[in-house]
């Protein structure tokens, strides 16, 4: 047996999930397979051919057929909605040799009770995007759900045009979201919700299970991991694009890469997502939205923080104010490190001026920091700034400024190639992105896009 499944979620009250049978596709093809991740998870696929691999990855050999989709709710662009896994099915919780539990989820395997008007399917392009973007995130040292494989289903799905259908095999510490708590808080049966909260704490944060102040500690732990995540995103120029409360995972992992993108030229107000007309989830807004989402999260279990609601709200407000400051401080520290400045000093002025120049002159967010490290910044732009910079105190930081990020125009080119049957660039990029802090030989993948290559909008791909 490849998998070591021991399911726990299905022991929760049944309102939290629905049993689902994923469709069986006859014409499957393995497009991407993550050997490194398979090894990390102690999955030995060596003796299987691609066909058998696909069957195993899709959970088709599982005896108990205990597949399920999760129920949740969420604020989507500020509006509260009941949702659920509309195109995702967990085939099991795999336990590694080190006793780590991970959800193995199929994304795009067909309709579920939560599909609403959707077809429950996914197109190959967006699944390749998620595979590349999420693995890049992980290799950049940033917490993320992982991608184990992409399998094409052999059927077409209708999006703007017909596209090849595909399934992503996603791995996560758990898929419990802020939105799952929002869903639970609506239940009339409080006990069911309390069971669910206890389950979440013992699954994700067992260290605080016996803490006297467990719920407040749990809340702070989530605040801390989310703020850290946003600072990490800002380090590498990542825009999530749909920071709805249903896309904020309590495991602290970056989740759901629909319209997500890495910045080319620096613009703090940058938005890629075609549906984000107001810039709610713009690059610079990500910390504010995180705090907004965290406030919605607190609302779901205020009654457990303190019986007196006013006291409870005050405690939450204090934590949110604290994390607003922690974000600002962590961001300054991170930016100081990007500029190789001693973090014991206040470098705010020199950081902000550098960012302003990058913004005004539309410079590349990734490459400009590397140019500074290599001493090849454009003199005409940075001459005065350099005078100030040289007066600072320096330190050398490693693994802070990536030498490569997965750029939109490259991913678009690669998907177009895949659609015409050519996979070589996809496999090349996948390999290069495993070591984003090492020197990159193929300049094509690191150059910023020409005007004609720029991608201005990204789509959820649903
Ligand atoms: P997202 O913004 O991608 O996180 O998705 C928001 C909601 O739409 C979630 O409940 C998804 O499960 C659902 N959804 C997205 N794509 C589809 C689809 N093709 N079919 C059914 N439901 C979908
Ligand atoms: Mg989602």
DSSP per-residue letters across 25-49: -SS-EEEEE-HHHHHHTT---TT--
Calculated CA dihedral for residues 408, 412, 417, 421, nearest 10 degrees: 110
- Going from the Cα of 422 to the center of ligand 1, the distance in angstroms, rounded, reads 29
Alpha helices in 32-177 (DSSP H): 35-40, 50-57, 124-139
Tell me whether residue 295 is in a domain: no
State the catalytic residues: 246
Pocket mutation for ligand 1, best pick of 118, 153, 163, 167 (most atoms within 8 Å of C-beta): 118
pLDDT of res. 457: 85
Separation of alpha carbons 241 and 260, rounded Å: 5
Sign of CA dihedral 370, 372, 373, 374: positive
- Going from the Cα of 182 to the center of ligand 1, the distance in angstroms, rounded, reads 17
- Going from the Cα of 87 to the center of ligand 1, the distance in angstroms, rounded, reads 6
Q: Which ligand is nearest to the CA of 88?
A: 1
3-state secondary structure of 131: helix
Separation of alpha carbons 38 and 32, rounded Å: 12
Helix axes 190-204, 214-236, angle to 10 degrees: 60
Ligand 1 contacts CB of residue 30 (under 6 A): no
Place of tokens 């995180």: 290
Separation of alpha carbons 446 and 367, rounded Å: 8
Ligand 1 contacts CB of residue 121 (under 6 A): yes
Give the list of residues 6+ apart from residue 297 with CB closer than 8 angstroms, or none.
Answer: 178, 181, 182, 219, 222, 245, 248
pLDDT of res. 1: 78
Ligand 1 contacts CB of residue 158 (under 6 A): no
Ligand 1 contacts CB of residue 115 (under 6 A): yes
Pocket mutation for ligand 1, best pick of 22, 69, 86, 182 (most atoms within 8 Å of C-beta): 86
Q: Are 97 and 269 in contact (CB under 8 A)?
A: no
Tell me whether residue 110 is in a domain: yes
Q: What is the largest CA-CA distance in the chain?
A: 68
Pocket mutation for ligand 1, best pick of 81, 175, 248, 462 (most atoms within 8 Å of C-beta): 462
Tell me whether residue 166 is in a domain: yes
Separation of alpha carbons 197 and 301, rounded Å: 9
pLDDT of res. 170: 98
Question: What's the total number of domains in the chain?
Answer: 1
Structure tokens at 313: 């709200």
pLDDT of res. 96: 97
pLDDT of res. 65: 82
Tell me whether residue 80 is in a domain: yes
- Going from the Cα of 225 to the center of ligand 1, the distance in angstroms, rounded, reads 25
pLDDT of res. 462: 60
Ligand 1 contacts CB of residue 315 (under 6 A): no
pLDDT of res. 63: 76
3-state secondary structure of 137: helix
Place of tokens 């549906």: 275
Separation of alpha carbons 160 and 206, rounded Å: 45
Tell me whether residue 249 is in a domain: no
| Residue nearest to ligand 1 atom 15, measured at CA | 462
Q: Are 182 and 80 in contact (CB under 8 A)?
A: yes
Separation of alpha carbons 375 and 358, rounded Å: 16
Ligand 1 atom showing the smallest separation from residue 246 Cα: 4
pLDDT of res. 461: 63
Question: Which residues are bridge partners to 69 per DSSP?
Answer: 18
pTM: 0.97
Ligand 1 contacts CB of residue 141 (under 6 A): no
Question: Which residues are bridge partners to 68 per DSSP?
Answer: 19, 90
**Strand-pair category, 261-262 with 68-70:** unpaired
Closest CA to 150 of 121, 134, 170, 136: 170
Tell me whether residue 381 is in a domain: no
- Going from the Cα of 192 to the center of ligand 2, the distance in angstroms, rounded, reads 23
Q: What share of the chain is helix, strand, coil (3-state, %, to 5)?
A: 45, 15, 40
Give the DSSP per-residue string, 315-371. HHHHHHHHHHHHHHHHHHHHHHHHTTB-TTS--HHHHHHHHHHHHHTT-BHHHHHHH
Tell me whether residue 165 is in a domain: yes
* H or E element, residue 93: strand 88-95
Ligand 1 contacts CB of residue 78 (under 6 A): no
Ligand 1 atom showing the smallest separation from residue 247 Cα: 4
* H or E element, residue 170: strand 162-172
Separation of alpha carbons 165 and 151, rounded Å: 9
- Going from the Cα of 72 to the center of ligand 2, the distance in angstroms, rounded, reads 10
Ligand 1 contacts CB of residue 177 (under 6 A): no
pLDDT in tens, the chain (462 residues): 799 999 999 999 999 999 998 888 989 999 999 999 999 999 999 999 999 999 999 999 887 888 999 999 999 999 999 999 999 999 999 999 999 999 999 999 999 999 999 999 999 999 999 999 999 999 999 999 999 999 999 999 999 999 999 999 999 999 999 999 999 999 999 999 999 999 999 999 999 999 999 999 999 999 999 999 999 999 999 999 999 999 999 999 999 999 999 999 999 999 988 899 999 999 999 999 999 999 999 999 999 999 999 999 999 999 999 999 999 999 999 999 999 999 999 999 999 999 999 999 999 999 999 999 999 999 999 999 999 999 999 999 999 999 999 999 999 999 999 999 999 999 999 999 999 999 999 999 999 999 999 998 887 766
pLDDT of res. 460: 75
Ligand 1 contacts CB of residue 242 (under 6 A): yes
3-state secondary structure of 16: helix
Q: Are 9 and 20 in contact (CB under 8 A)?
A: no
C-alpha gyration radius of the chain = 23
- Going from the Cα of 355 to the center of ligand 1, the distance in angstroms, rounded, reads 36
Separation of alpha carbons 404 and 264, rounded Å: 11
Domain that holds residue 107: 5-175
Tell me whether residue 128 is in a domain: yes
| Residue nearest to ligand 1 atom 11, measured at CA | 86
DSSP designation for 84: -
Ligand 1 atom showing the smallest separation from residue 122 Cα: 19
Q: Are 400 and 140 in contact (CB under 8 A)?
A: no
Ligand 1 contacts CB of residue 247 (under 6 A): yes
- Going from the Cα of 86 to the center of ligand 1, the distance in angstroms, rounded, reads 5
Question: Which residues are bridge partners to 106 per DSSP?
Answer: 89, 169
Closest CA to 298 of 218, 194, 196: 218
Q: Are 246 and 178 in contact (CB under 8 A)?
A: yes
């Amino acid at each position: 047996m490849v998998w070591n499944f021991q399911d726990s979620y299905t022991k929760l009250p049944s309102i939290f999930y629905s049993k689902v049978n994923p469709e069986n596709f006859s014409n499957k093809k393995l497009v991407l397979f993550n050997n490194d991740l398979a090894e990390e998870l102690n999955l030995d696929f060596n003796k299987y051919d691609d066909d058998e691999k696909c069957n195993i990855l899709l959970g088709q050999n599982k005896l108990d057929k205990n597949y399920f989709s999760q129920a949740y709710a969420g604020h989507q662009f500020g509006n509260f909605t009941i949702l659920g896994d509309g195109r995702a099915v967990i085939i099991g919780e795999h336990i590694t040799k080190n006793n780590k539990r991970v959800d193995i989820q199929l994304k795009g395997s067909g309709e579920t009770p939560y599909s609403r008007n959707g077809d429950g399917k996914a197109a190959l392009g967006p699944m390749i995007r998620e595979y590349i973007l999420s693995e890049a995130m992980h290799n950049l040292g940033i917490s993320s759900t992982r991608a184990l494989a992409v399998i094409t289903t052999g059927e077409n799905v209708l999006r703007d045009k017909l596209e090849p259908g595909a399934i992503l095999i996603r791995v996560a510490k758990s898929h419990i979201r802020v939105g799952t708590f929002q869903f639970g808080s609506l239940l009339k049966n409080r006990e069911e919700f309390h069971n669910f909260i206890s389950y979440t704490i013992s699954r994700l944060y067992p260290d605080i299970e016996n803490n006297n102040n467990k719920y407040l500690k749990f809340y702070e732990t989530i605040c801390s991991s989310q703020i850290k995540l946003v600072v990490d995103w800002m380090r590498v120029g990542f825009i999530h694009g749909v920071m709805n409360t249903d896309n904020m995972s309590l495991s602290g992992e970056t989740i759901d890469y629909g319209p997500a993108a890495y910045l080319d030229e620096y613009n703090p107000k940058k938005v890629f997502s075609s549906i984000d007309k107001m810039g709610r989830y713009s690059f610079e807004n990500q910390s504010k939205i995180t705090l907004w989402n965290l406030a919605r999260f607190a609302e779901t279990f205020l009654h457990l923080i303190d019986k007196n609601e006013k006291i409870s709200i005050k405690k939450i407000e204090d934590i949110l104010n604290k994390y607003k400051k922690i974000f600002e401080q962590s961001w300054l520290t991170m930016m100081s490190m990007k500029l190789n400045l001693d973090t014991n000093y206040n470098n705010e002025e020199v950081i902000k001026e550098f960012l302003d120049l990058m913004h005004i002159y539309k410079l590349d967010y990734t490459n400009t920091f590397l140019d500074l490290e290599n001493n090849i910044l454009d003199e005409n732009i940075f001459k005065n700034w350099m005078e100030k910079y040289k007066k600072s105190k320096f330190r050398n930081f490693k693994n802070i400024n990536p030498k490569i990020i997965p750029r939109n125009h490259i991913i678009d080119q690669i998907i177009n190639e895949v659609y015409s049957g050519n996979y070589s660039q996809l496999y090349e990029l996948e390999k290069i992105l495993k070591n984003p802090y090492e020197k990159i030989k193929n300049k094509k993948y690191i150059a910023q896009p020409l005007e004609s290559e720029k991608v201005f909008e990204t789509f959820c791909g649903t």
